[in-house]
Structure 1
Amino acid sequence: MNMKRTSQITAVTAVLLVLAIGLHFAGVTGMKQWTLIAATVIAGTPIAWKAIQALRMKAFSIELLVTIAVIGALVIGEYVESAAVTFLFLFGAYLEIRTLEKTRSSLHSLIDMAPLEATVRRNGETLTVPVDEVMKGDRVIIRSGEKVATDGIILTGNATVNDAAITGESLPASKTINDRVFSGTIVDNGFIEVIADRVGDDTTFARIIELVEEAQETKSKTQKFLDRFASIYTPAIVILSILVYIFTRNIEMTLTFLVVACPGALVISAPVSIVAGIGNGARNGVLVKGGEIMESLSKIDTVVFDKTGTLTRGRPEVMNIHVISGNERELLRLAAEAEMISEHHLGQTVVKEAQRRGIPLLNKPEEVEIIEGNGIRVKVEGRVLTVGNRKLMATKGIVIEKLAEAYAVQREEVGNTAIFVAIDGIVQGIISIADQIRPEAKRAIRELRENGVKQVIMLTGDNRHTANLVGQQLGLDQIHAELLPEEKVAWIKKLKDAGHIVAMAGDGINDAPAIATADIGLAMGEGGTDISMETADVVLMADRLDQFSHAHALAKATIRNMKQNTYFAVATVFLLLAGVLFGKVFLASGMLIHELSVLIVILNAVRLMRYTKKKGKTQDTNALLQPE
């Protein structure tokens, strides 16, 4: 039943109950009885209908217990009790729907951010079209204050763009020509023209909404257990109620036993916490793909990081080009043309450096051989180019002269990555590339440790000198360098075999196998690349490691909140049952306490929506009903 229909029936029932109270004080007993019966029938009909629907599905629902109790109350003439029970149950259901809507507020706010129209330039005309009619390749115009309607690359103009819908970052980012923008973000100030490359359901924004919807529907292990428990518990309560009547011959006590034993708060205790936790993550730029993943994330004791693009910014720069033989510009041109087809950060850095210097890249590489984790081998202008690390040179039988090796080591010791460029089997130069450690990395690692992570490890394909330098600055427990993707996978398996619960954070491209192997795979979102969205269990949309520490702390808070709700629900049921058997709890009061327990569970979970970290410390607001 939807909220509008529930609210209408609840309101009519409330009016009838007030009328019955008035008739009672007026001494009109007959009319009072019929008014109470009418209230019972009106409120009880939707409850009974849900019970019948559940029975058709061979399920014993909470509504079935209430229906049996209400029919019994009518039979024995307890009209006040029957009317009160149905009203309280329906009113409780209405309040549940309203408060549950709050836990999904992050998803609703995301949907509200979705653009409806776009201004496109087609055949020399400027048109305003519905966002669903934007086509790949359209030139989309976005002005100050407007929402970006598509994913794409800026063709002309510059602007400050609020990326909060995608990344959770509230501060606007400056965007200019060749920068990428995403659907759902807002141009705060400026004017840009974008070439659409992802439209409709393919946009990052649409896929985020889809992922959050799926995640909020995915059940945790605890929730699955509670569902199985409820399916056994409900018929067991019916049998116990019959036993209560056999031993006591007290029909009112039996009916009360039925009502207060309803496991409403217990059934809802897990899903409401999971939904609220996932919603909080989505609002803060963290996509957690379901309740089971939230539970696993809360239990991790080992975190493994890739280096480039994860612990470092992923925006490396060419620091120096050392030419052994030939011309620097020519060496860079050939290396860039070889790397044009590479997806690796370092390869793209070489390409960008050539473009920055205005070097035309006209030749398409041929006979391409990509050696993951090591480099690339191609043919350009009839010459064989081998561009990569020492391992690649050794694999291809290319000798590195002593002076070149000494220079490379010198660059690596100051934190650079040395890229060897060999032409026709002879090393002709070394390109030194440096990347900066993410400013939030040290704090994020400290927060992970504070929240129970026992060891932090780096697995990287980069050279050992640079890896050690980064690892020492961040205080990592173990550093393993010069690894191939399959060697990273082997390390993850080794850690898991040793009994550790492992999270692996990488850039979602070269690290996809290791991310998939870990108990929890985290991808630096890169604005939502396909592979990071699909492979990882958790996606950090803003590429910030403090989002990781927030996700971990949030997972622990969510599971703690879920346990609080479960314990509270179980304790309430036991206390109510004890109260019934000792004659202290009656039908209407029992239902009132039952509904209050459901609301307390939901309100406790809703607090997760405000869960945050302040001043680098995780703020724990998860003591049950602790004042905010």
Structure 2
Amino acid sequence: MSEMKFQKFIQDHNHQITLLTAILIVAGYLTKYGLGSTTGEAIMLAVASIIAAIPIVIHAYQALRVKVVSIELLVSIAVIGSFIIGEYDESAIVTFLFLFGSYLEERTLSKTRQSIKSLTEMAPTTATVVQADGTTEEVDVDDVDEGDIVLVKTGGSIPVDGKVIDGHGYTDESVVTGESRQVGKQIQDDVFSGTMVSDGYLKIQATKVGDDTTFAKIIELVEDAQDTKSHAEKFIDRFAQYYTPAVLVIALVVFLFSRDFKLAITVLVLGCPGALVIGAPVSNVAGIGNGAKRGILVKGGEAMDTFSKIDTFVFDKTGTLTTGKTSVSTMKTYKGHRETTLALVAKVESLSDHPLGRAIVTYADQQGANFQTLNVTDNRTVKGQGMIAEIDQQTVLAGNLKLMQAQQVPLNDEQHKDLAALQATGSSVVLVAVAGELAALIGISDIIRPEVATQLQQLRNKGAKHLVMLTGDNQATADYVAQTVGIDEVHAELMPEQKVTFVKQFQQAGRTVAFVGDGINDSPSIATADIGIAMGSGTDVAIETSDVVLMQSSFEALVHAYGLAKKTVLNTKENITIAIAVVAFLLIGLVAGFIYMASGMFVHEASILVVIFNAMRLIGYGHATSVTPTPVPRTTTK
């Protein structure tokens, strides 16, 4: 058997070797205490030591080939030393505990990576492609090209990013957003690879395929993140690089001064820095895995570490603090029935492509207003003012205050007061007049996310010191949004480069800054901040530019991510403390005479499991309670 084949054989049968070692150790002690044969015990324990030492020595040899002094080398030398002094029971127990500890470590670590494994298992492998003649053919997902049309039925996994061109149904997008709810899909809606069609059928034209899909990028990002080390991990790597050889030197010095070979060998065993080496990486993996399950993508341990230190959150307004979708927020009526007035103005606005008009038409549809059957005999647009139309022998005006004044439509004191109040909220206001009298005021605005105020208070509770809004919108709208959600500082009417300037000013003032935006227009600020956070799924810029991506685009996810970062860093510090405390305990025990080689190895392996189980607590993190927001002082500048 060649060297490579032998090493692979040993690696593949590591668990069986551990079990056989345990059986031989038990058999050895039974031989001694049951049959009274110390020779039989020594033979069995020596055989157990040799069998268990084989995989350990192989790992030590492989590490030495790349000039690394590993923990396995320390154990290997300890085993050889035990054989020299005839302590077969010590060598057998030490090697068994080392292998058994590695086995438990492997099992527990695999649980922390389960969320990533479940992601990769959800990746579709085949696609049903619709051919030019209408027939379908099942092909490998890698053979699908952009522009191809794929068919996905109920229960099927969507293999590409694309747009629905036929059919309708519901999809489960939890694999992308982390949010378990059914999302309705119809023609022209976007869909993502890896999501599941839970009901209906969809024909989808592929816009992104293979490694370019959102799902593929998520998997790649999370896998890369688990390999990106935090500051603590980098420090421990450097520390272990010098620490392990130092243990060899210390053991040699102990032998030279004490001439106690067994004591020197025991120093080697107790000097293994296992818990210290594994403590930080396992916390990092568990924390990133927790986020991935909830649609929160953190780009590695270093980003997690920096995120935990954030004291200043800077927010874009549109699409971040607000939904980014213009809609009717208020409708005040003064004349006639509300439904009738809404139908009339919707009919007028249906003749225009203006964004405010589209918002009114959408609102009328949602309210069930029957405006399609109304008859328009004449209509004209007054530039900069609005529209005038004749509908069912009534003159209907829809526009701004200038239109009302030009058409001599009077407003009383109450109506002027209502108009001023709506404008103070930053809403765009459409005035509606029917037959020469003001019939309604319709406020149209970008709706504030309903959960923002509560979640911003939760950010404060978790350690955020300063909340800032930077927006290109007008000052009145910015002030209203800030007052509503509880922002400390507002800067409005800014260009993208001016937002970057403010971020740099906060950093120069000694603050650690996170910028939260939609990942598109705000990419310069996201890149400049200490931590860039993109709220929103599916954009290349969001995934590539930011340090943290919130796929479900919610403030609840932001609060969870911030708390998770703090918990992960705290967990890492706890693990390092545990590891150092165990080393100190072992050294004290060795000097005091109550710790020996086998018992020391047991404590050492137990400490590894303690730090792993401590890190696994992060997997279950995430049951925050809501907090009632409290008013906060605010600074407003233009």
TM tier, shorter chain? 0.7 to 0.9
Deviation at 1:159, TM superposition (A): 1.5
Aligned to 1:96: 105
Aligned to 1:64: 73
| Cα distance in 2, alignment partners of residues 6 and 480 from structure 1 | 62
Deviation at 1:51, TM superposition (A): 1.4
Measured against aligned partners, the alpha-carbon deviations of 1:439-476 in whole angstroms (never above 9, x if no partner) come to: 22112201100001011110000111111111100011
Deviation at 1:433, TM superposition (A): 5.3
Q: Summarize the Cα distance change of 1:349–1:551 in structure 2 as closer, same or farther, 3 Å threshold.
A: farther
Q: Summarize the Cα distance change of 1:351–1:59 in structure 2 as closer, same or farther, 3 Å threshold.
A: farther
| Cα distance in 2, alignment partners of residues 96 and 80 from structure 1 | 24
| Cα distance in 1, alignment partners of residues 616 and 562 from structure 2 | 19
Residue 111 in structure 1 maps to residue 97 in structure 2: no
| Cα distance in 2, alignment partners of residues 348 and 226 from structure 1 | 59
Aligned to 1:602: 612
Measured against aligned partners, the alpha-carbon deviations of 1:250-271 in whole angstroms (never above 9, x if no partner) come to: 2222211111111100011111
**Could you say what secondary structure the match of 2:104 adopts?**
helix
Aligned to 1:394: none
| Cα distance in 2, alignment partners of residues 352 and 137 from structure 1 | 31
Deviation at 1:106, TM superposition (A): 0.8
CA contact (8 A) 2:350 2:361 kept: no
**Which of residues 513, 519, 529 is equivalent to 1:518?**
529
Q: Summarize the Cα distance change of 1:591–1:316 in structure 2 as closer, same or farther, 3 Å threshold.
A: same
Q: Summarize the Cα distance change of 1:349–1:31 in structure 2 as closer, same or farther, 3 Å threshold.
A: farther
Q: Summarize the Cα distance change of 1:179–1:461 in structure 2 as closer, same or farther, 3 Å threshold.
A: same
| Cα distance in 2, alignment partners of residues 563 and 3 from structure 1 | 33
Aligned to 1:194: 204
CA contact (8 A) 1:241 1:254 kept: yes
Q: Summarize the Cα distance change of 1:581–1:95 in structure 2 as closer, same or farther, 3 Å threshold.
A: same
Aligned to 2:273: 263
| Cα distance in 1, alignment partners of residues 301 and 253 from structure 2 | 38
CA contact (8 A) 2:454 2:627 kept: no
Deviation at 1:129, TM superposition (A): 2.2
| Cα distance in 2, alignment partners of residues 110 and 599 from structure 1 | 26
Residue 441 in structure 1 maps to residue 449 in structure 2: no
User: How do residues 142-291 of structure 1 correspond to structure 2 at under 5 angstroms?
Assistant: 142-291=152-301
Measured against aligned partners, the alpha-carbon deviations of 1:504-525 in whole angstroms (never above 9, x if no partner) come to: 0001111000011100000012
**Which of residues 123, 129, 132 is equivalent to 1:120?**
129
CA contact (8 A) 1:280 1:610 kept: yes
Deviation at 1:402, TM superposition (A): 11
Aligned to 1:47: 56
Gaps of 5+ in 2: 1-7, 331-346, 373-382, 385-399, 406-415, 431-441, 629-638
**Could you say what secondary structure the match of 1:269 adopts?**
helix
Letter in 2 for 1:19: A
Aligned to 2:508: 497
Aligned to 2:25: 17
**Could you say what secondary structure the match of 1:612 adopts?**
coil
CA contact (8 A) 1:286 1:540 kept: yes
Aligned to 2:45: 36
**Could you say what secondary structure the match of 1:93 adopts?**
helix
| Cα distance in 2, alignment partners of residues 206 and 5 from structure 1 | 34
Q: Summarize the Cα distance change of 1:318–1:614 in structure 2 as closer, same or farther, 3 Å threshold.
A: closer
Q: Summarize the Cα distance change of 1:329–1:85 in structure 2 as closer, same or farther, 3 Å threshold.
A: same
CA contact (8 A) 1:253 1:581 kept: no
**Could you say what secondary structure the match of 1:315 adopts?**
strand
**Could you say what secondary structure the match of 2:534 adopts?**
strand
Measured against aligned partners, the alpha-carbon deviations of 1:76-135 in whole angstroms (never above 9, x if no partner) come to: 110111111111101111111111111111100111111222222112111222222222
**Could you say what secondary structure the match of 1:436 adopts?**
strand
Q: Summarize the Cα distance change of 1:529–1:519 in structure 2 as closer, same or farther, 3 Å threshold.
A: same
Letter in 1 for 2:165: L
| Cα distance in 2, alignment partners of residues 78 and 6 from structure 1 | 24
Aligned to 1:472: 483
Aligned to 2:306: 296
Residue 612 in structure 1 maps to residue 632 in structure 2: no
User: How do residues 299-338 of structure 1 correspond to structure 2 at under 5 angstroms?
Assistant: 299-317=309-327, 332-333=352-353
Aligned to 1:392: none
Q: Summarize the Cα distance change of 1:348–1:298 in structure 2 as closer, same or farther, 3 Å threshold.
A: farther
Measured against aligned partners, the alpha-carbon deviations of 1:400-427 in whole angstroms (never above 9, x if no partner) come to: x9959x99988642333699xxxxxxxx
Aligned to 2:573: 563
CA contact (8 A) 1:3 1:97 kept: no
**Which of residues 491, 496, 499 is equivalent to 1:485?**
496
| Cα distance in 1, alignment partners of residues 101 and 428 from structure 2 | 63
| Cα distance in 1, alignment partners of residues 591 and 486 from structure 2 | 60
Deviation at 1:154, TM superposition (A): 1.2
| Cα distance in 1, alignment partners of residues 149 and 401 from structure 2 | 53
**Could you say what secondary structure the match of 2:171 adopts?**
strand
CA contact (8 A) 1:503 1:522 kept: yes
Letter in 1 for 2:14: T
| Cα distance in 2, alignment partners of residues 69 and 171 from structure 1 | 57
CA contact (8 A) 2:229 2:301 kept: yes
Deviation at 1:350, TM superposition (A): 12
Deviation at 1:584, TM superposition (A): 0.7
Aligned to 1:381: none
Between 1:222-231 and 1:239-248, the stretch displaced more is 239-248
Deviation at 1:347, TM superposition (A): 14
Measured against aligned partners, the alpha-carbon deviations of 1:298-342 in whole angstroms (never above 9, x if no partner) come to: 11000000000001112224789xxxxxx9879955x78xxxxxx
| Cα distance in 2, alignment partners of residues 432 and 522 from structure 1 | 31
How high is the TM-score relative to the length of structure 1? 0.82
CA contact (8 A) 2:124 2:194 kept: yes
Letter in 2 for 1:29: T
CA contact (8 A) 1:300 1:501 kept: yes
| Cα distance in 1, alignment partners of residues 317 and 428 from structure 2 | 12
Q: Summarize the Cα distance change of 1:449–1:21 in structure 2 as closer, same or farther, 3 Å threshold.
A: same
**Could you say what secondary structure the match of 1:615 adopts?**
coil
Between 1:588-597 and 1:249-258, the stretch displaced more is 249-258
Aligned to 1:462: 473
Measured against aligned partners, the alpha-carbon deviations of 1:372-417 in whole angstroms (never above 9, x if no partner) come to: xxxxxxxxxxxxx99xxxxxxxxxxxxxx9959x999886423336
**Could you say what secondary structure the match of 2:13 adopts?**
helix
Deviation at 1:581, TM superposition (A): 1.5
**Which of residues 8, 17, 20 is equivalent to 2:16?**
8
Between 1:93-102 and 1:114-123, the stretch displaced more is 114-123
Measured against aligned partners, the alpha-carbon deviations of 1:489-532 in whole angstroms (never above 9, x if no partner) come to: 0000000000000000001111000011100000012x220001
| Cα distance in 2, alignment partners of residues 410 and 206 from structure 1 | 49
| Cα distance in 1, alignment partners of residues 471 and 535 from structure 2 | 15
Letter in 2 for 1:22: L
How many residue pairs get matched?
549
CA contact (8 A) 1:332 1:350 kept: no
Measured against aligned partners, the alpha-carbon deviations of 1:26-73 in whole angstroms (never above 9, x if no partner) come to: 233333322222211111121112112222222221111111111100
How high is the TM-score relative to the length of structure 2? 0.80
Deviation at 1:349, TM superposition (A): 8.5
**Could you say what secondary structure the match of 1:466 adopts?**
helix
| Cα distance in 1, alignment partners of residues 129 and 275 from structure 2 | 51
**Could you say what secondary structure the match of 1:551 adopts?**
helix
**Could you say what secondary structure the match of 1:135 adopts?**
coil
User: How do residues 406-421 of structure 1 correspond to structure 2 at under 5 angstroms?
Assistant: 412-416=423-427
Identity within the alignment, %: 50
User: How do residues 508-587 of structure 1 correspond to structure 2 at under 5 angstroms?
Assistant: 508-525=519-536, 527-587=537-597
